[in-house]
Structure 1
Amino acid sequence: MRYSLKAHKGVSLLGLILLISVVFYLTFNTFKLNDKQYQAVEKNLIDERYTQRIRNDKVFPGGVTIINRYLMNNIHALEAAYHRGPDIFEHEKNLILDSMFVALRKGNTMDSLFAAIKAEYQIDEDFEYLLTINAIQLVFKNMMLVNVYHASDPPPFLPDSLNTRAGVRIGGYLHTPLPQNEITSITVSNAEDYNYWMSFSLHADHRNRTWRIVKLMMPTFLLALFAIGCVVSIYYVTYRNWLRQKKLAEMKSDFVNSITHEFNTPLSTIIVANKNMQNNSILANAENIKPLTKIIERQSLRLQKLFDQVMDITTMDNSTLQKEPHELNQLLAELVTDYNVKLSVQNTAVGLHTVSAPLHVELNKFFFTTMLFNLFDNAIKYNHSEQKRITVDTTLDENTIKLRIADNGTGIPDKEIAHVFEKFYRFQKQGAQHIPGLGLGLYYTYQCIKSHGWKLSVESKGDVGSQFTIHIPH
């Protein structure tokens, strides 16, 4: 059974995890798709206008003049430096690139062009751009290509503020160039000696792109969260109900086993006593019959008590208690006296301590008596002390009467206290398996207290004892 329970838990948990994973996967893919297609119309419009304006230009309108001034005018000097050695070439090309990048940023006309595009197509004001040069190659004699700049290997003179993953920043305030926000990437080249190849790109996006996409997908996110919440709730309710049904089935099985044992014992005794009474040698002496009839009487009373206990539970569940006024201290004195008289367990005593003031309470005497005797019986059954003690006392706290029944028994573990009042539940403690009962005593007690409109609290400590406190409105 334990293996089956673990298997069911494992399969259920695995199914729940798989289902949540599928929902998360679909939601994440929806986010990625929206991220990829976000502002697609705006990007196409910007791309169209940008490429039109730089059709015979580079980087931005008027950029080719600046680039040619630094690259084409110095290309022969750079070739000579290249042949003189890598250190000389590195120094010369860094000086030229630094001057060219400064001039491009100073002469950048993209700000006015981008502002005009945003105004024309009514694009949001927080839509920013980033214009970068990604790579530059010089073409020397005999079509020899020499790399002078690449985004993956930025020169040391460039500050971090101008370095991006796409390349050197020429204009714009967009901080994060991504494949999703790339408008266009252009490479220009010329298959002639003493020329250059260059690639540059334009990115444009909102400053808070991710948050805008999240807001756009909010209905999808909420629907996914709702679906996951529903699945978890259904799983939890189903699993809890399954545990309850399983526990109820186990308790019913335990009840059948207990009641079978409890009823078989007196029945077997009655049958044996009856057979003995039919023995001629016993019938010959009238003195032999009297002990047998006493046995039959005791066992019959025990059977009646078992039947009454089961029937009392049914009555308690399906009827309204008929209450009458009683003086609690006097009633408790009578019950404790009666219980001590019929008590057959040696070294056991029930003590009573009450307040001096009269305590008038409305209650059902029959159910109250049975309830109290159930607590007494449990206090004796679950007690291995040589001197068993049960103490009953009453106190008056403002408008509440506290009726305490304390013992020096084996006690109840904290995790079991919440279950001992359930129908058919029996606390299985090592060494207590032989104790007879149907698991109805404390259930009956709790139902009686609840039907009277009272409250119950329990304090218990292992091998020290338990204290049941009944709170009665006064």
Structure 2
Amino acid sequence: MRYSLKTHKGVSLVGLILLVSVVCYLTFNTFKLRDEQYQAVEKTLINEHYTQRIRNDKVFPGGVAIIDRYLMGNIHALETAYQRGSEVFASQKNLVLDSMFQALREGNTMDSLFAVVKTEYQLDEDLEYLLTINNIQLVFKNMMLVNAYQAANPPSFIADSLNTSVGVRIGGNLNTPLPQNEISNITVSNAEDYNYWMTFSLHADHRNRTWRVMKLMMPTLLLALFAIGCVVSIYYVTYRNWLRQKKLAEMKSDFVNSITHEFNTPLSTIIVANKNMQNDHILANAENIKPLTKIIERQSLRLQKLFDQVMDITTMDDSTLQKEPYELHQLLNEIINDYNVKLSVQNAAVTLHTVAQPLQVELNKFFFMTMLLNLFDNAIKYNHSEYKQVAVHTALSENTIKLKVSDNGMGIPGREIEHVFEKFYRFQKQGAQHISGLGLGLYYTYQCIKSHGWRLSVESREQVGSQFTIHIPHKS
């Protein structure tokens, strides 16, 4: 049973994780799609305006003149340095690039161009841009290409604040160049000796892009969270109901086993007694018959009691109790005196301790007696003490009578207390397996108390004993 329960828990947990994972995966992909499509119109407008303004230019309007001045003006000197060795070339090249990048930043016209674009198309004021040069290759004699600058391997003279993941910063304050916010990426080349090939890009984005996309995603996100909540709730309710059904099936199985044993015992005795009564040797002596009839009578009464107990459980919820006023102490004394006669052959006793004043209570005498007798029976059955003690106390607190039944028995484990009043439930405790019963006594007791409109509380300590307190409303 433990293995089965553990297996079902594992399967349920794996299924739940898979469903939640699918919902999260779909939500994440939706976010990525929204992120890629975000600012699609703005990007198109900016790209069109930008490419028109640099149609015969590079990087920004007026940039080609600055670039040509440094690269074309030093192309032969750079070729000579390249021929002299890599260190000479690197030193010469870095001087040229450093001067060119500084001149481009100082002559950058992109700020004014971007401001015109935002005004013309009424774009958000917090929109920022990033203009970078990503790659430069020099073309020497015979179309020999030589790398002068690569974003992946930036030279040391470029300050960290100017280095980005895509290239050297020429203008703009945007710090997060992403594929999603790239406006354009242009490569210009010339199929002639003593020239250069260059790649530059423009990015534009809002400062709080992720939050803006999340706001757009909010309905989808809330729907996903709601779906996850529904899935978790359905799994929880289904799993809890499955546990209840499993527990009920186990209790019914235990009930069938218990009731079979309980009914078989008196039936077997009756059958044996009946066979003896058919024996000619026994019939020859009339005095032998009377003990056998007594046995049959007692076992028949026991069977009747078992049937009545089961039938009372099935009808109690629908019955309306006929209550009558009784003096509580007098009734308790009567019940306990009769019960002590039954205990006279055992080393056990029930004692009564009452308050001084009489207490009038409206109750159904039959159910009340049965309720107390069930408590007494349990207190005696689940008790391994040499001398079994059951004490009944009454106390009056404000408008409530407290009827306490305590014992010195085995006690109930804390985790079991909430279950002992369930139908057919019998807790399995070492030393208690041999104790017979249907698991209906405390359930019957609880139903009696509930049908009277009273309340029950339980305190118990293992190997010390239990105390059942019945709270009865009382009008002064």
Q: Which TM-score applies when normalising by structure 1?
A: 0.94
1:6, distance to aligned residue in structure 2 (A): 4.2
1:291, distance to aligned residue in structure 2 (A): 2.1
Paired residues for 1:261-340 under 5 Å: 261-340=261-340
Indicate yes or no: 2:281 matched with 1:251. no
Write the letter of the residue equivalent to 2:436.
P
1:57, distance to aligned residue in structure 2 (A): 0.8
Q: In structure 2, how many angstroms separate the alpha carbons of the residues matched to 1:458 and 1:130?
A: 74
Residues 345 and 253 (structure 1 numbering): CA distance in 2 closer, same or farther, change over 3 Å? farther
Q: In structure 2, how many angstroms separate the alpha carbons of the residues matched to 1:185 and 1:93?
A: 24
Task: Tell me which residue corresponds to 2:391.
Answer: 391
Indicate yes or no: 2:48 matched with 1:33. no
1:25, distance to aligned residue in structure 2 (A): 2.2
Q: In structure 2, how many angstroms separate the alpha carbons of the residues matched to 1:194 and 1:354?
A: 117
Bigger Cα displacement from structure 2, 188-197 vs 276-285:
276-285
Write the letter of the residue equivalent to 2:94.
N
Indicate yes or no: 2:220 matched with 1:220. yes
> Residue 357 of structure 1: SS of its match in structure 2?
coil
Residues 345 and 112 (structure 1 numbering): CA distance in 2 closer, same or farther, change over 3 Å? farther
1:237, distance to aligned residue in structure 2 (A): 1.9
Task: Tell me which residue corresponds to 2:21.
Answer: 21
**Deviation string, structure 1 residues 408-437 (Cα, Å, up to 9, x no partner):** 222222222121111111112233222111
Write the letter of the residue equivalent to 1:166.
V
Structure 1 unaligned runs (5+)?
none
Write the letter of the residue equivalent to 2:86.
P
Paired residues for 1:348-367 under 5 Å: 348-367=348-367
1:2, distance to aligned residue in structure 2 (A): 4.7
**Deviation string, structure 1 residues 252-310 (Cα, Å, up to 9, x no partner):** 22222222221121122122222223333223333323322222222122122212212
> Residue 394 of structure 1: SS of its match in structure 2?
strand
Task: Tell me which residue corresponds to 2:70.
Answer: 70
Bigger Cα displacement from structure 2, 169-178 vs 75-84:
75-84
> Residue 73 of structure 2: SS of its match in structure 1?
coil
1:132, distance to aligned residue in structure 2 (A): 0.6
Residues 345 and 465 (structure 1 numbering): CA distance in 2 closer, same or farther, change over 3 Å? farther
Write the letter of the residue equivalent to 1:66.
I
> Residue 370 of structure 1: SS of its match in structure 2?
helix
Q: In structure 1, how many angstroms separate the alpha carbons of the residues matched to 2:100 and 2:32?
A: 38
Task: Tell me which residue corresponds to 2:457.
Answer: 457
Indicate yes or no: 2:448 matched with 1:448. yes
Task: Tell me which residue corresponds to 2:158.
Answer: 158
Write the letter of the residue equivalent to 2:282.
I
1:63, distance to aligned residue in structure 2 (A): 1.0
Residues 173 and 347 (structure 1 numbering): CA distance in 2 closer, same or farther, change over 3 Å? same
Indicate yes or no: 2:73 matched with 1:51. no
> Residue 391 of structure 1: SS of its match in structure 2?
strand
Q: In structure 2, how many angstroms separate the alpha carbons of the residues matched to 1:235 and 1:289?
A: 65
Q: In structure 1, how many angstroms separate the alpha carbons of the residues matched to 2:286 and 2:32?
A: 99
Q: In structure 1, how many angstroms separate the alpha carbons of the residues matched to 2:72 and 2:328?
A: 113
Indicate yes or no: 2:76 matched with 1:113. no
1:5, distance to aligned residue in structure 2 (A): 4.1
Q: In structure 1, how many angstroms separate the alpha carbons of the residues matched to 2:160 and 2:362?
A: 86
Q: In structure 2, how many angstroms separate the alpha carbons of the residues matched to 1:257 and 1:251?
A: 10
Q: In structure 2, how many angstroms separate the alpha carbons of the residues matched to 1:300 and 1:322?
A: 28
**Deviation string, structure 1 residues 316-338 (Cα, Å, up to 9, x no partner):** 21112222223323322222222
Q: In structure 2, how many angstroms separate the alpha carbons of the residues matched to 1:60 and 1:368?
A: 98
Q: In structure 2, how many angstroms separate the alpha carbons of the residues matched to 1:183 and 1:339?
A: 95
Residues 106 and 344 (structure 1 numbering): CA distance in 2 closer, same or farther, change over 3 Å? farther
Indicate yes or no: 2:459 matched with 1:472. no
Structure 2 unaligned runs (5+)?
none
> Residue 72 of structure 1: SS of its match in structure 2?
helix
> Residue 201 of structure 1: SS of its match in structure 2?
strand
Bigger Cα displacement from structure 2, 324-333 vs 97-106:
324-333
Paired residues for 1:198-209 under 5 Å: 198-209=198-209
Paired residues for 1:173-188 under 5 Å: 173-188=173-188
**Deviation string, structure 1 residues 17-50 (Cα, Å, up to 9, x no partner):** 3333322222222222222222212211211111
Q: In structure 2, how many angstroms separate the alpha carbons of the residues matched to 1:176 and 1:398?
A: 73
Write the letter of the residue equivalent to 2:191.
A
Task: Tell me which residue corresponds to 2:419.
Answer: 419
Write the letter of the residue equivalent to 1:96.
V
Q: In structure 2, how many angstroms separate the alpha carbons of the residues matched to 1:260 and 1:247?
A: 20
Bigger Cα displacement from structure 2, 454-463 vs 170-179:
454-463
**Deviation string, structure 1 residues 35-80 (Cα, Å, up to 9, x no partner):** 2222212211211111110011111011112222222223333333
Q: In structure 2, how many angstroms separate the alpha carbons of the residues matched to 1:354 and 1:96?
A: 108
Count of matched residue positions in the alignment of Structure 1 and Structure 2: 474
Residues 344 and 427 (structure 1 numbering): CA distance in 2 closer, same or farther, change over 3 Å? farther
Write the letter of the residue equivalent to 2:457.
S
Q: In structure 2, how many angstroms separate the alpha carbons of the residues matched to 1:172 and 1:360?
A: 91
> Residue 108 of structure 1: SS of its match in structure 2?
coil
Bigger Cα displacement from structure 2, 16-25 vs 215-224:
16-25
> Residue 164 of structure 1: SS of its match in structure 2?
coil
Q: Which TM-score applies when normalising by structure 2?
A: 0.94
Q: In structure 2, how many angstroms separate the alpha carbons of the residues matched to 1:330 and 1:92?
A: 117
Q: In structure 2, how many angstroms separate the alpha carbons of the residues matched to 1:157 and 1:323?
A: 101
Task: Tell me which residue corresponds to 1:430.
Answer: 430
**Deviation string, structure 1 residues 422-461 (Cα, Å, up to 9, x no partner):** 1111112233222111111010111111122222222222
Bigger Cα displacement from structure 2, 409-418 vs 364-373:
409-418
Bigger Cα displacement from structure 2, 202-211 vs 458-467:
458-467
Write the letter of the residue equivalent to 2:264.
N
